[in-house]
Amino acid sequence: MTRFTEDVSAGVVLLGEPTLNKGTAFTLQEREKYGLLGLLPPHVETLQEQTVRAYDALQAKDTDLERHIYLRALQDTNEVLFYNLVISHIAEMMPLIYTPVVGEACEKFSEIYRRPRGLFISYPHRYDIDDILDNAVNETVRAIVVTDGERILGLGDQGTGGMGIPIGKLALYTAAGGVDPTVTLPIILDVGTNNEERLKDPLYIGWREKRISGDEYFEFVDLFVQAIKRKWPNVLLHFEDFAQPHAEPLLVKYRDQLCTFNDDIQGTAAVSAGSLLAASKMMDKPLSQHHIAFLGAGSAGAGIAEQLIRIMMDEGLSDAEARKRIYMVDRYGLLHSDMDGLMDFQKRLVQDHRSVASWSSSKDGSISLLDVVKNGMPSILIGVSAQKGLFTEEIIREMAKNSERPIIFPLSNPTSKSEAVPADILEWTDGRALIGTGSPFSDVTYNGQVHHITQSNNTYIFPGVALGVLAVEATRITDNMFMASAKALAELAPVLKDPLGAMLPSVSDIRKVSRTVALAVAKQAVMDKVAPEQSDVDIEQKVDAAIWSPVYKKLG
């Protein structure tokens, strides 16, 4: 409940509490009992009537950013109505509450800020974190999404504006996964920003200092994690949009201390693996028979690669054999064994320089993506570079020579950062490519045939993972649980029934998808002994019981 002084009426309290507010749907009896008479217009509406009116108001907005602002305001006013609206039009709403519109919302977070949601934990208050957690509106917290705002989508450092990401992610926990919104909490770790535009902005509401780094940074994060463990020892802690130098070390350090995961590394890997498994099944060619090129060798790309390696090993390859089929290309070219300055997670993904040295077509000896495509002849191309247009016509046409159905995934988002657009990819491959994108694109008609463009969106994975974890009270999240989520997702692919179909189900079915993923994750958690022993029947009952739906509750 919102904290008010005793002289404030119960009606005002109810109208100010988004988890309890029903607005015009309060019954006459409730209005009389809780002092709401006169505070609301006389007509009593149903939730469905309210939803129709809210949808009409949303449609009247001129821009997607204005629609995002409207939805955020609705969420802060009446959560049941907000989620009923979002779920009723899920395919239309997801881009508005998350990618791609959330990117612009993060850039303009200070300008559009209206009401507080979640917790802002800034570096100057690093020794007050226990008190800050006590100030959370939610008394019971079971799921947290936290960011430090440094790597927001493909937009970079947004400082405290990055808070839009945890808010949006948790909205999808509920809308797509059915996680009860009253037990979720978004958090921003405000460690400053190196974005000069933000620092010079007179409206910027974050801590106006350069980012802390090194030991200071990791000590601050540790203060936060230890405080979380004291306050909510069984919470699910989801790391989101941390920069490459921090993302992998933080995951490695804390994954055995509490129930935690990094969606950019593990969620992206699982949804990509699910899409690729579906494409491989359709082609009747196991993933272990493909060669795969990556453009972008950061933590996200490496996470996908490691997941694919585990799948190849599951299909019978040795670790060494699987790694030979993975080509990681960054700004300096193909990662190989003679390169200096590689991070630990990159060193595990290098090619032996002796076997690839002859591939280079440049004077400096670097091996470009085009060199890799020509010589390594990959049948799968994945882009996680956050750089627009790097999948050139020459590269894509070369890919088309390597496979009858080349699989091409420009995964960078928002849309402005995509390595290529689907229409061009289909044009350059004579309509043969299987395409997955990071941001939403419309279906493409080529030579009279409609090609369904798969958005390889993490929303197919992380809400279901969270639902499964919370339902069976898992204490840790294992690699096997993400593997199980990918395999469960692949089995739902429309492309298995229609060669022109998408590699992932329709977004309109996302809650059904999340339930399927949750069941697979929960069962794997029990198998991995990170959740109490229980039967599959019990697991299914617990998952279904955990699914929250937007319905107004009767007030006692």
User: In this predicted model, what pLDDT tens digit does every residue of 437-491 receive, in sequence order?
Assistant: 988 888 999 999 999 888 888 999 999 999 999 999 999 999 999 999 999 999 9
Which residue has better confidence, 487 or 155?
Answer: 487
Instruction: Pinpoint the residues of the chain covered by CATH 1.20.1370.30.
Output: 10-94
Band of pLDDT at residue 4, cut at 50, 70 and 90: very low
Instruction: Pinpoint the residues of the chain covered by CATH 3.40.50.720.
Output: 266-459
pLDDT surpasses 50 at 497 = yes
pLDDT of residue 95: 92
What angle, rounded to 10 degrees, do the helices at 536-546 and 462-472 form?
110
Confirm whether 169 is a catalytic residue: yes
Which of helix, strand or coil describes residue 336? strand
Binding site annotation covers 135?
no
Binding site annotation covers 457?
yes
Binding site annotation covers 240?
yes
pLDDT of residue 502: 85
Binding site annotation covers 424?
no
CA-nearest of 330, 304, 308 to 319 is 308
Contact between residue 166 and residue 71 where contact means Cβ atoms under 8 Å apart? no
pLDDT of residue 1: 40
Contact between residue 519 and residue 295 where contact means Cβ atoms under 8 Å apart? no
Q: Which residues contact 98 (CB under 8 A, 6 or more apart)?
A: 168, 169, 171, 172, 459
Q: Which residues contact 106 (CB under 8 A, 6 or more apart)?
A: 149, 152, 153, 155, 158, 161, 162, 163, 164, 165
pLDDT of residue 2: 43
Active site residue: 22, 108, 169, 417, which one?
Answer: 169
pLDDT surpasses 60 at 5 = no
Contact between residue 107 and residue 161 where contact means Cβ atoms under 8 Å apart? yes
Model confidence over 157-215: pLDDT tens digits? 999 999 999 999 999 999 999 999 999 999 999 999 999 999 999 999 999 999 999 99
Instruction: Pinpoint the residues of the chain covered by CATH 3.40.50.10380.
Output: 95-257
**Mean model confidence pLDDT for the chain:** 95
Mean pLDDT of 296-308: 94
Confirm whether 98 is a catalytic residue: yes
Binding site annotation covers 6?
no
Mean pLDDT of 226-240: 98
Mean pLDDT of 259-276: 95
- Please give the single-letter amino acid code of residue 428: W
| CA–CA separation, 456 and 495 (whole Å) | 14
Model confidence over 389-426: pLDDT tens digits? 999 999 999 999 989 999 999 999 878 889 999 999 99
pLDDT of residue 3: 45
pLDDT of residue 8: 63
Q: What are the backbone angles phi and psi of residue 461, rounded to the nearest 5°?
A: -115, -60
pLDDT of residue 340: 93
CA-nearest of 205, 112, 190 to 157 is 190
Model confidence over 94-112: pLDDT tens digits? 999 998 899 999 999 999 9
Active site residue: 22, 34, 83, 98, which one?
Answer: 98
Mean pLDDT of 240-259: 95
Binding site annotation covers 473?
no
| CA–CA separation, 542 and 311 (whole Å) | 29
Residue with tokens 């002084």: 5
CA-nearest of 458, 525, 383, 492 to 176 is 458
CATH class of 10-94: mainly alpha
In the sheet that holds 119-122, the strands lie side by side as 119-122, 184-190, 143-147, 236-239, 259-262
Contact between residue 167 and residue 208 where contact means Cβ atoms under 8 Å apart? no
CA-nearest of 67, 64, 42 to 56 is 67
Which of helix, strand or coil describes residue 334? strand
CATH value of 266-459 in 3.40.1800.10, 3.40.50.720, 3.10.150.10, 3.20.20.70:
3.40.50.720
> 95-257 architecture in CATH?
3-Layer(aba) Sandwich (3.40)
Model confidence over 36-85: pLDDT tens digits? 999 999 999 999 999 999 999 999 999 999 999 999 999 999 999 999 99
